[in-house]
């Protein structure tokens, strides 16, 4: 691997590259290698974009995600036309008027008038980052008449705007995932580290615990724990409890990675060298060992996130995760999980797209990071 | 017999707005919906009472004829009672044979079959839901003072195993099952009018008397209704229940200590894998579970409900024939397959994998169901119910845990304002596809206990301005930055919890919509979806602010009062403490202080001893108080949402274009499933 | 060697015991008990249960005793082969579970085979042709399988096959075989119904295995003995298949034990959507209805199966790979 890396860089400037490579820090090396992993790089960009969406969810939302209206139940997505009839760039949508067909009982949507789009328009009130109160949204309709609305991805049964709900759901699901990963990271590093450092009985106990947790079928564990949440908890409390539950069952993989890395690094020459040089235990761990597997931890983290997201959606499917009025990807998927939605409003399946994209992105990112984490490998 | 029949009819005429005109009114209740062609007219099999039109000779299914030839079954004339019930099938005399395929959802879904077998009751409602007809009883006559009711059975009637069905079976149930405190811990209100326990006494082989100390004019309705005493054995004795007023003595006595000894029955129980004789009895007396149990209904179980396929087979001793003398039922067997999920059940129904299914069919799927009619070779019928509100928000009037919340719940203007704040048309359009009728909780106008047309809209139409004015007037004037009203004690946001369960209807989603409506009147409602068990536990502990449930069954208030008045501790959403107080005659719980509730309890208690017309007037009085005080908010009702979306295979005959959907009709029981048949 | 075996065995037994306690604790966690469920069921169907009746039921089922006594009673009975009676299904737990356990194992094993059938060749291909178009394409497909929520996929496929193929909706048997006794025709009917659930179930695990196989094989391919074999001019096919693939298979085999609970958990959700007669829907239903003996038995059974699976895969690994045996000692 080293040879190949050398081979490629030396083509440009053999001597200096060799020098740079030799004195580069661990993270620099990782970054250099990671940069060449195009798919992982692209995935990283996607992940960043998703978190930007999460940060600016309300700003990107077009309508109040909770606002219901029977007159637009199961309304299909609207197409944005970029150019006006005269060919000038004036994006518009054709707004719809709905009625129920008395024979088929389906909603029928008649095309109504043309309404132009504008940017940075006032809409519902929200607080940005919990700090500024504002009502400015990225997109909106220019001079809408009563009943006019912009539904980029259509609406659900209650007539709520799917696009806006997806924006808000992204925030909820991604933060649950992140919070869950942080908790399980903490547990994983702590217990994995203890396991590796102390060994013996402690190691044994922790390893058995991991084995037991892994040999439990997860669904009943989730169900039992989620069903045990106190009934008078608010939506937010349940949100955090679900996060903790998911994390409590997800730390085992991280603990194994950490333990394995600790053990193998202990045998490495540079650790032995540090020991011989008289470095203390803590210094060895934090100065020498930790940096060398930090990138592994990042990789493991990004690989753990998809599992968190899938857990959240599965729990919601079983009716044990977040409950409405909370909005998460799992809840949006649950809304799509019935025959009438498949037959009458297939656009509700769009809720699965961000889930699939982010899971792919995290996986490729994690893969790339893991490959890159072994710069000398 | 003629006198008793007259007795019968006089009673039933008074019981409900019977008369042909009223039945017509029922049928026409559909209004503009008839345009869709999916709502038909109430129709069904008629009981033949004219002796001249009764058949003299009897015929039977080919399978049974074969068994008779082999000597394994007595001839049909000996299997039928001397005077069988004669039904004139809806359209034509049917053909024997076929398997009726249905879906069920598990061992808790016994009602799926119980309702098909509902004709094992003493008396029953006919297809109109407004007239009482004889069933296993040939006649039922009440004394003038209402204290004694005499039941005459059909002479020569037999259980499904061929043993005679006599007054002994009533005596056995009353003495050895109902009065055994190990089996039935406490007596039931159905048999204790005015709090005084009554008796069931055998007079002779075919005559039984219900005897009470107080007048009990309601008894006739109770026996015909879906009540503990009148439900029949199929529902009365299933699961852990031990009701229904008769039981097969010749079979069940072997499981009771009285007829041998406690040691003997316990030894037998352990040998059969039960922990004790009571567990064994609960198993043996349940027709869903025990294929050996003799029954009186048209079908009997051959594969029990706790398997992936619940299979019923015709009862060769069923007591009913058609006008040609063919012993019913026409259909050989009923096969119900287990669906683990309602989506699968609905999909199978659309695929034509069920022949007739009204249970567990989801109204929201109506457009898809309609699209697939030809593919699945079925017709679709919409049967509209008579109860006022499928989605009813019950206030917990006995709530105390949070004094501020309790104060507002107990404020009548607060409750009225919340009711005025709901956009019922939007709910109807979104969740009922426009098929329901928005309004208060009171029953349909065609029902005899309806207090009058003006009570449907009373406090039950959208008026945001009025609602806001009322809330301001009662002192809820301060609001937070998001426009929600604040508590008057500590200035925090006033938050109400609405408890919902995902069952029957998408209540959590519907209440999300209501919460949005209430936002406009500054009321913050937190919709809490919870598991049914948890919700019922919380209700029982008096912990909920509001609970959402149907008010199904309240179309006949006295037969099923619990969804309108807190009298039954089992489902006392409107005030569990008051229900305990009422049911225990004051020894438990708390007496209500609200004047309206006090009056309702008073009226309700007096009703059992009132004659029919007076009793209906009392019910109207109760409804007026209920609607005016908004103890429960009605939203949308009189809809097909619960068991009213009916798929029926085009191969089947005698299927009514509209069936009565009501608790007392045991849907589809009063459509007489034994007259359904396969045309080819 | 013997000491290793004994140690593993003791650990497996300890694990099973913890699993049994955890199973019991978990099913006890939710508030309320079976009688509450029963009351709510009764009221839903329009019937009443008096307080006295509820109390007598609680006594009957021993629900009024402390949890640890209930556990003691339960575990003692389990050890004697008596799993108790399911309160909801009102028959012995072993009869309720009956065939369902075998259908669960059948579907899980079928999914396992599909997973291997896909992951092995793709993993080898991806490793040998690292960074090729095929490598990326297969990896992408594998990951999409991982990323699509399988319950959604199950419903979509079921609906589409109903809408466009007129296929039966859900289940493991056609209607005509549902009641029939076992025969070749019924077996064939079962086999025809297997691919849909097993493929949907397999999709999630495949990506994981592809990645493991690919990584393992890449590691092996870089080892000196492979370089030596190549240098000696041995045919490429032989170079890859003879030793590296076999060596790479070892850690691969050890994932089986962990794939099993994953598949079982996955089959819980898919079985509900597709209405399959496995223990999955039974488990969910019993947890919701607080049917303790049934829920406890299923959780315990699945946990124990996994522990046994892990134990066996440990032994197999030890047997096939001397290096591991050495490490473990």
pLDDT (tens digit per residue) in A164-174: 999 999 998 88
Of C40, C52, C90, the CB nearest to B283: C90
**Angle at the Cα of B502 from the Cα atoms of B497 and B504, rounded to 5 degrees:** 125
Asked if C169 and B347 come within 8 Å (Cβ–Cβ), the reply is: yes
Q: What percent of chain A has pLDDT over 90?
A: 14
Segment of B83-92, B604-613, C108-117, C272-281 carrying the highest mean pLDDT: B83-92
Residue A299 in tokens: 């990789």
**pLDDT tens string B616-664:** 999 999 999 999 999 999 999 999 998 999 999 999 999 999 999 998 9
One DSSP character per residue, B109-124 reads -THHHHTTTGGGSSEE
- Residues composing chain A: 377
Structure token pair of residue A137: 């949204």
Q: Is the pLDDT reported for residue A217 higher than 70?
A: no
Contacts of A299 by beta carbon, 8 Å cutoff, 6+ apart: A366, A367, A369, A370, A373
Q: Which pLDDT band, with edges at 50, 70 and 90, does C242 fall under?
A: confident
Alpha carbon of C236: minimum distance to chain A alpha carbons (Å): 20
By C-alpha distance, which of B589, B393, B424, B594 is closest to B496? B393
What's the pLDDT at B59? 95
Q: How confident is the model at residue B114 (pLDDT cuts 50, 70, 90)?
A: very high
Q: For residue range B166-192, list pLDDT tens digits in order.
A: 999 999 999 999 998 888 877 788 898
- Average pLDDT (A240-262) is 79
On whether residue B3 sits in a domain, the answer given is no
Residue C11 lies in a domain: no
Q: A319: distance to nearest CA of chain B, Å?
A: 9
Is the same domain home to B610 and B647? no
C62 within some domain:
yes
From the list B186, B337, B375, the residue facing C178 with the nearest CB is B337
Ranges B351-365, C51-65, C93-107: which has the least confidence: C51-65
Query: In the listed set C21, C47, C82, which residue is the last one of a domain according to the structure?
Result: C82
Q: How are beta strands B99-104 and B333-338 bridged, if at all?
A: parallel
CA dihedral B371, B375, B378, B382 (to 10 degrees): -10
Structure-model confidence comparison of residues B381 and B18, the more confident one: B381
Please count the other Cβ atoms lying within 10 Å of the Cβ belonging to residue A338.
23
What is the rounded CA–CA span in Å between residue A216 and residue A252?
12
Q: Is residue B387 part of a domain?
A: no
**pLDDT score at A221:** 65
Q: Identify the pLDDT of residue B668.
A: 92
pLDDT, chain C, mean: 76
**CB proximity C261 to A under 8 Å:** yes
Q: How many residues does chain C have?
A: 329
Angle, CA of C222, C210 and C313, to the nearest 5°: 90
Residue B81's contacts (CB-CB under 8 Å, 6 or more residues apart) are B154, B155, B156, B157, B158, B319
Three-class secondary structure of residue B218 per DSSP: coil
Q: What integer pLDDT is reported at residue B17 of this predicted model?
A: 37
CA atoms of A355 and A314, how far apart (whole Å): 12
Query: Do the domain assignments include residue C5?
Result: no
Range picked from B14-28, B36-50, B267-281 for highest mean pLDDT: B36-50
* Closest B-chain CA to A158: B430
Based on the fold, state whether residues B73 and B189 are members of the same structural domain. Answer: yes
Within a domain: C226? no
Residue B165, judged by CB atoms within 10 A of its CB (0-12, 13-18, 19+), counts as buried
Structural domain containing residue B165: 46-247+285-334+643-678
C270 and C207 both lie in a single domain: yes
- The proportion of chain B whose per-residue pLDDT surpasses 90, expressed as a percent, equals 70
Same domain, C289 and C180: yes
Residues C54 and C120 in one domain: no
- pLDDT band of A1, cuts 50, 70, 90: very low
CB contact under 8 A, A318 and C26: no
More reliable by pLDDT, C265 or C21: C21
Q: Is the same domain home to C146 and C67?
A: no
pLDDT at A249 over 80: no
Q: Tell me the residues of chain B between 32 and 61 that have a Cβ less than 8 Å away from chain A.
A: 35-37
Eight-state DSSP code of residue B174: I
CA nearest to C304, candidates C86, C90, C101, C15: C15
Which chain B residues are within 8 Å of A104, Cβ to Cβ? 367, 370-371
Least trusted range by pLDDT, from B69-83, B193-207, C123-137:
C123-137
Who contacts B117 (Cβ-Cβ below 8 Å, separation ≥6)? B232, B234, B287, B295, B297, B298, B299, B312, B669
Q: Does B291 touch chain C (CB under 8 A)?
A: no
Helix (H) or strand (E) holding C203: helix C195-221
pLDDT band of residue C320 (cuts 50, 70, 90) is low
Higher local confidence (pLDDT), B549 or A301: B549
In a domain, C203, yes or no: yes
Kindly state whether residue B263 falls inside one of the protein's structural domains: no
The per-residue pLDDT for A309 is 82
Mean pLDDT of chain A, nearest integer: 80
* Residue B568 forms part of a structural domain: yes
Question: How far is C-alpha B151 from the geometric centre of its chain's CA atoms?
Answer: 23
Give A226's contacts in chain B (Cβ within 8 Å): none
- A186: CB partners within 8 A, 6+ apart: none
Burial category of B114 from C-beta neighbours within 10 Å (exposed 0-12, middle 13-18, buried 19 and up)? buried
> pLDDT digit string (tens) for C151-185?
888 888 888 888 887 766 677 777 777 777 788 88
pLDDT-wise least confident of A5-9, A159-163, A329-333, C176-180: A5-9
If asked whether residues C47 and C152 sit together in one domain, one would say: no
Cα separation, B339 vs B337, in Å, equals 6
B217, B146 Cβ separation under 8 angstroms: yes
Q: For residue B433, give the nearest of A105, A227, A319 by CB distance.
A: A105
* Residue A267 predicted with pLDDT over 80: no
Residue of B nearest to A98 (CA): B429
Between C195 and B431, the higher pLDDT residue: B431
Do C264 and C181 lie in a common domain? yes
pLDDT of residue C52: 60
For B102, phi then psi, to 5°, come to -140, 170
In this structure, are B522 and B615 located in the same domain?
A: yes
SS3 assignment, position C82: coil
Please check whether residues B315 and B461 belong to one and the same domain: no
Residues of chain C in contact with residue B532, where contact means CB-CB under 8 angstroms, are 40, 44
Chain centroid to CA B646: 17
Chains interfacing with B (3 or more CB pairs < 8 Å) = A, C
CATH number at residue B526: 3.10.105.10
With contacts defined as CB-CB under 8 Å, which chain B residues touch A343?
Answer: 367-368, 371
- Per-residue pLDDT reduced to its tens digit, A26-63: 677 777 777 777 888 899 999 999 999 999 999 999 99
Considering the domain architecture, whether residues C312 and C195 belong to the same structural domain is answered as yes
B198 and B56 part of one domain: yes
B558 belongs to a structural domain: yes
List all residues 6 or more positions away from A17 whose beta carbon is below 8 Å from its beta carbon.
A6, A9, A10
Indicate the pLDDT class of residue A308, thresholds 50, 70 and 90: confident
Provide the pLDDT for residue B109. 87
Q: Which region holds residue B268: left if phi is over 0, alpha if psi is between -120 and 50, else beta?
A: alpha
Closest among B205, A9, A230, A290 to C30, alpha carbons compared = A230
pLDDT of residue C34: 64
First to last CA, chain A: 6
**Same domain as B535, residue B488:** yes
Selecting from A1, A208, A223 the residue whose C-beta is nearest the C-beta of C11 gives: A208
Greater confidence (C319 vs A83) lies with A83
C81 pLDDT exceeds 70?
A: yes
Cα–Cα distance between B162 and B80 in angstroms, integer?
10
The answer to whether the CB atoms of A339 and B365 lie below 8 A apart is yes
Beta-carbon neighbour count of residue B189 at 10 Å?
Answer: 18
Give C93-118 pLDDT, tens digit per residue. 888 888 888 888 888 888 888 888 88
Domains and CATH numbers, chain A: 69-156 (no CATH), 165-372 (1.10.3720.10)
User: What are the backbone angles phi and psi of residue A235, rounded to the nearest 5°?
Assistant: -55, -40
Please say if the pLDDT value at position A14 is more than 60.
no
How many angstroms separate the CA atoms of A170 and A180, rounded?
Answer: 15
Residue of A73, A104, A340 lying closest to B430 (CB–CB): A73
- Looking at the fold, whether B483 and B615 belong to one and the same domain comes out as yes
Query: Is C18 a member of any domain?
Result: no
**DSSP-assigned states of every residue in B582-651:** HHTTTSSS-----HHHHHHHHHHHHHTTS-HHHHHHHHHHHHHHHHHHTSEEE-EESSSTTT-EEEEETT
Query: In total, how many domains does chain C have?
Result: 2
ipTM over 0.90: no
pLDDT at res. C56: 66
Q: Does B571 touch chain C (CB under 8 A)?
A: yes
Q: Are residues C160 and C300 in the same domain?
A: yes
Whole-angstrom distance, CA of residue B610 vs CA of residue C97: 53
Q: What is the mean pLDDT of residues B317-327?
A: 96
pLDDT of residue C261: 67
Is residue C107 one of the residues assigned to a domain?
yes
Does the distance separating the beta carbons of B276 and C277 come in below 8 Å? no
More confident residue, B356 or A326: B356
Query: Could you give the 3-state DSSP secondary structure of residue B377?
Result: coil
Please check whether residue B377 lies inside any domain of the structure.
no
Residue B91 sits at φ, ψ, to 5 deg, of: -110, -50
Determine contact, residues C283/C295, Cβ cutoff 8 Å: yes
- Say yes or no: B145 contacts chain A, CB-CB below 8 A: no
Inter-chain touch A215–C269, beta carbons under 8 Å: no
Domain that holds residue C105: 95-220+251-328
In angstroms, the CA B205 to CA B668 distance is 32
**What proportion of chain C, given as a percentage, has pLDDT over 70?**
80
Structural domain contains residue B99: yes
The total domain count for chain B is: 2
List, in sequence order, the alpha helices (H) in chain A.
2-23, 26-35, 38-55, 57-60, 162-198, 200-215, 218-227, 235-266, 269-276, 281-283, 290-317, 329-336, 339-344, 352-372
* pLDDT tens, residue by residue, B409-441: 999 999 999 999 999 999 999 999 989 999 999
The token duo for B22 is 């009223």
Among the residue ranges A212-221, A261-270, C168-177, the one predicted with the least confidence is: A212-221
Q: Is C274 on the interface with A (CB under 8 A)?
A: no
* Better-scored residue on pLDDT, C64 or B379: B379
Cα–Cα distance between B85 and B154 in angstroms, integer? 9
Query: Which pTM value belongs to this model?
Result: 0.87
CB C95 within 8 A of CB C296: no
Q: Which has more pLDDT, B643 or A212?
A: B643
Tell me whether residue B651 is in a domain: yes
Q: How far apart are CA B133 and CA B127, in angstroms?
A: 10
Angle between helices C292-320 and A200-215 (to 10 degrees): 120
- pLDDT score recorded for residue B22: 42
Q: Indicate the average pLDDT of chain B.
A: 89
**Chains in contact with A, where contact requires at least 3 CB pairs less than 8 Å apart:** B, C
Q: Do B429 and A73 touch (CB under 8 A)?
A: yes
pLDDT value of residue B568:
81
B353: nearest CB among C44, C85, C169? C169
| Residue C45 to residue B110, Cβ atoms within 8 A | yes
Neighbours of B9 (CB within 10 A): 15
Same domain, B652 and B615: no
> Domain with C281 in it: what CATH number?
1.10.3720.10
Nearest CA to A261 out of A299, A226, A296, A288 is that of A296
d(CA A342, CA C203): 21
* A-chain residues near B346 (CB < 8 A): 339
Query: Are the beta carbons of A352 and C18 separated by less than 8 Å?
Result: no
pLDDT-based confidence at A12, cuts 50/70/90? very low
Note whether B60 and B75 are same-domain residues: yes
What does the pLDDT look like over C117-154, one tens digit per residue? 888 888 888 888 877 888 888 877 777 777 888 888 88
User: Do B167 and B234 share a domain, yes or no?
Assistant: yes
Q: pLDDT-based confidence at B10, cuts 50/70/90?
A: very low
- Is B530 close to A106, i.e. CB distance below 8 A? no
Are residues B163 and B179 located together in one domain of the fold?
Answer: yes
Q: What is the CATH number of the domain that holds B657?
A: 3.90.76.10
Q: State the DSSP code for C180.
A: S
The first and second tokens of residue C197, run together, are 């659930």
Smallest Cβ–Cβ distance between C281 and the set B111, B340, B347 belongs to B340
Which residues 509-568 of chain B have a CB within 8 Å of chain A? 509, 512-513, 515-516, 526-531, 534, 538, 543
* Statement to judge: residues C104 and C126 lie in one domain: yes
Per-residue model confidence as pLDDT tens digits over B143-172: 999 999 999 999 999 999 999 999 999 999
Edge-first strand listing for the sheet containing B85-88 = B46-47, B85-88, B320-322
Residue C83 has a pLDDT of: 80
Q: With beta carbons less than 8 A apart as the criterion, state whether B138 and B151 touch.
A: no
C partners (3+ CB pairs within 8 A) are A, B
């Amino acid at each position: 691997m080293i040879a190949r890396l050398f081979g490629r860089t030396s083509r440009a400037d053999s001597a200096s590259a060799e020098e740079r490579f030799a004195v580069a820090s661990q993270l620099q090396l990782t970054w250099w290698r990671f940069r060449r992993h195009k798919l992982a790089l692209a995935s990283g960009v996607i992940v960043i974009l998703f978190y930007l969406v999460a940060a600016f969810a309300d700003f990107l939302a077009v309508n109040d995600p909770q606002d219901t209206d029977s007159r637009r139940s199961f309304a299909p997505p609207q197409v944005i036309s970029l150019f006006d009839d005269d060919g000038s760039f004036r994006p518009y949508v054709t707004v719809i008027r709905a009625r129920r067909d008395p024979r088929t009982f389906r909603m029928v949507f008649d095309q109504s008038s043309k309404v132009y789009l504008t940017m940075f328009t006032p809409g519902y009130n929200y607080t940005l980052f919990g700090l500024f109160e504002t009502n400015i949204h990225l997109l909106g309709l220019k001079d809408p008449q009563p009943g006019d609305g912009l539904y980029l991805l259509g609406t659900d049964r209650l007539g709520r705007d799917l696009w806006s709900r997806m924006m808000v759901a992204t925030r909820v699901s991604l933060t649950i995932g992140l919070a869950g990963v942080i908790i399980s990271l903490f547990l994983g590093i702590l217990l994995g580290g203890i396991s590796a450092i102390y060994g013996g009985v402690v190691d044994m106990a922790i390893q058995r615990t991991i084995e037991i947790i892994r040999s439990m079928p997860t669904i009943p564990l989730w169900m039992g724990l989620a069903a045990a949440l106190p009934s008078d908890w608010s939506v937010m409390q349940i949100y955090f409890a679900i996060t903790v539950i998911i994390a409590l069952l997800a730390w085992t993989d991280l603990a194994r990675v950490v333990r394995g890395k600790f053990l193998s690094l202990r045998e490495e020459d540079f650790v032995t060298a540090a020991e011989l040089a008289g470095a203390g235990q803590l210094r060895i761990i934090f100065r020498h060992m930790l940096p060398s597997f930090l990138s592994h931890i990042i990789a493991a983290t990004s690989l753990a996130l998809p599992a968190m997201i899938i857990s959240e959606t599965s729990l919601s499917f079983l009716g044990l995760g977040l409950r409405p009025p909370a909005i998460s990807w799992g809840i949006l998927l649950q809304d799509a999980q019935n025959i009438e939605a498949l037959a009458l409003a297939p656009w509700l399946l769009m809720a699965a797209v961000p889930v699939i994209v982010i899971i792919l992105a995290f996986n490729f990112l994690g893969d790339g990071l893991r490959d890159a984490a072994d710069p000398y490998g | 017999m003629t006198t008793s029949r007259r007795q019968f009819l006089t009673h039933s005429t008074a019981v409900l707005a019977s008369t042909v005109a009223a039945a017509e009114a029922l049928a026409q209740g559909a209004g503009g919906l008839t345009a869709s062609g999916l709502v038909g007219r109430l129709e069904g099999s008629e009981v033949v009472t004219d002796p001249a039109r009764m058949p003299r000779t009897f015929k039977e299914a080919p399978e049974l004829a074969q068994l008779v030839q082999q000597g394994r079954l007595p001839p049909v004339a000996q299997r039928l009672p001397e005077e069988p019930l004669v039904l004139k099938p809806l359209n034509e005399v049917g053909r024997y044979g076929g398997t009726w395929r249905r879906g069920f959802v598990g061992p808790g879904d016994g009602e799926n079959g119980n309702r098909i077998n509902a004709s094992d009751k003493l008396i029953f409602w006919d297809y109109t839901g407004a007239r009482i007809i004889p069933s296993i009883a040939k006649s039922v006559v009440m004394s003038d003072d209402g204290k004694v009711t005499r039941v005459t059975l059909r002479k020569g009637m037999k259980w499904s195993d061929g043993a005679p069905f006599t007054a002994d079976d009533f005596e056995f149930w009353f003495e050895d099952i109902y009065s055994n405190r190990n089996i039935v811990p406490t007596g039931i209100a159905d048999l204790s009018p005015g709090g005084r326990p009554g008796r069931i006494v055998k007079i002779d082989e075919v005559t039984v008397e219900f005897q009470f100390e107080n007048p009990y004019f309601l008894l006739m309705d109770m026996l015909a209704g879906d009540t503990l005493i009148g439900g029949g054995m199929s529902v009365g004795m299933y699961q852990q229940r031990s009701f229904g007023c008769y039981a097969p003595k010749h079979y069940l006595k072997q499981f009771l200590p009285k007829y041998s000894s406690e040691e003997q029955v316990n030894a037998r129980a352990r040998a059969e894998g039960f922990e004790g004789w009571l567990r064994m009895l609960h198993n043996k007396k349940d027709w869903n579970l025990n294929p050996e149990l003799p029954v009186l209904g048209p079908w009997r179980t051959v594969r029990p409900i706790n398997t992936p396929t619940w299979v019923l087979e015709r009862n060769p001793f069923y007591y009913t024939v058609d006008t040609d003398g063919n012993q019913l039922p026409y259909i050989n067997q009923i096969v119900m397959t287990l669906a683990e999920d309602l989506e699968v059940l609905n999909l199978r129904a659309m695929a034509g994998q069920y022949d007739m299914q009204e249970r567990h069919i989801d109204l929201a799927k109506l457009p898809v169901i309609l699209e697939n009619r030809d593919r699945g070779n079925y017709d679709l019928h919409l049967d509209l119910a008579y109860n006022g509100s499928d989605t009813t928000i019950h206030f917990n009037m006995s709530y105390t845990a949070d004094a501020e919340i309790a104060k507002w719940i107990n404020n009548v203007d607060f409750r009225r304002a919340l009711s005025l704040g709901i956009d019922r048309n939007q709910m109807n359009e979104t969740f009922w596809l426009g098929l329901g009728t928005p309004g208060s909780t009171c029953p349909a106008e065609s029902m005899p206990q309806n207090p009058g047309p003006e009570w449907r809209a009373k406090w039950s139409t959208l008026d945001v301005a009025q609602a806001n004015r009322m809330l301001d007037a009662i002192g809820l004037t301060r609001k937070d930055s998001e426009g929600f009203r604040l508590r008057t004690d500590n200035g925090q946001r006033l938050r109400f919890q609405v408890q919902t369960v995902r069952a029957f209807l998408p209540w959590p989603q519907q209440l999300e919509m209501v919460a949005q409506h209430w936002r406009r009147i500054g009321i913050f409602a937190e919709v809490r979806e919870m598991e049914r068990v948890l919700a019922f536990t919380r209700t029982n502990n008096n912990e909920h602010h509001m609970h959402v449930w149907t008010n199904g069954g309240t179309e006949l208030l006295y037969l099923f009062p619990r969804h309108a008045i807190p009298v039954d501790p089992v489902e006392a959403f409107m005030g569990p403490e008051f229900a305990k107080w009422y049911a225990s005659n004051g020894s438990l719980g708390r007496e209500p202080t609200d004047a309206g509730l006090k009056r309702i309890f008073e009226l309700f208690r007096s009703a059992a001893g009132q004659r029919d017309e007076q009793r209906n007037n009392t019910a109207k009085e109760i409804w007026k108080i209920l609607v005016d005080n908004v103890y429960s908010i009605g939203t949308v009702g009189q809809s097909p949402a619960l068991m009213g979306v009916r798929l029926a295979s085009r191969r089947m005959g005698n299927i009514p274009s509209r069936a009565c959907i009501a608790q007392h009709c045991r849907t589809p029981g009063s459509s007489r499933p034994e007259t359904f048949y396969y045309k080819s | 060697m013997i000491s290793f075996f004994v140690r593993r065995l003791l650990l497996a037994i300890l694990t099973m015991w913890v699993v049994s306690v955890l199973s019991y604790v978990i099913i006890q966690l939710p508030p309320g008990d079976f009688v509450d469920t029963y009351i709510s069921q009764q009221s839903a169907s329009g019937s009443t249960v008096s307080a006295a009746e509820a109390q007598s039921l609680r006594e009957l089922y021993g629900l009024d005793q402390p949890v640890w006594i209930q556990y003691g009673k339960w575990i003692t009975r389990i050890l004697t082969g008596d799993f108790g009676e399911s309160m909801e299904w009102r028959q012995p737990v072993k009869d309720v579970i009956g065939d369902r356990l075998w259908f669960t194992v059948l579907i899980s094993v079928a999914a396992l085979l599909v997973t291997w059938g896909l992951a092995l060749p793709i993993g080898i291909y991806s490793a040998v042709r690292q960074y090729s178009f095929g490598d990326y394409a297969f990896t992408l497909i594998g990951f999409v399988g991982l990323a699509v929520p399988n319950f959604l996929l199950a419903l979509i496929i079921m609906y589409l096959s109903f809408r466009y193929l007129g296929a039966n909706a859900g289940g493991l048997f056609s209607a005509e075989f549902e009641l029939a006794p076992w025969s070749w025709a019924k077996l064939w009917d079962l086999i025809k119904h297997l691919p849909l659930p097993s493929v949907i179930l397999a999709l999630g695990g495949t990506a994981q295995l592809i990645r493991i196989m690919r990584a393992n094989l890449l590691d092996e391919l870089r080892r000196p003995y492979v370089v030596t074999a190549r240098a000696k001019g041995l045919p490429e096919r032989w170079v890859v298949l003879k030793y590296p693939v076999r060596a790479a298979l070892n850690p691969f085999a050890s994932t089986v034990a962990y794939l099993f609970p994953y598949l079982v958990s996955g089959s819980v959700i898919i079985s509900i959507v597709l209405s399959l007669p496995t223990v999955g829907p039974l488990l969910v239903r019993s947890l919701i209805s607080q049917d303790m003996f049934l829920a406890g038995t299923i959780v315990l059974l699945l946990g124990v199966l996994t522990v046994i699976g892990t134990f066996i895969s440990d032994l197999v690994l030890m047997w096939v790979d001397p290096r591991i045996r050495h490490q473990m000692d």
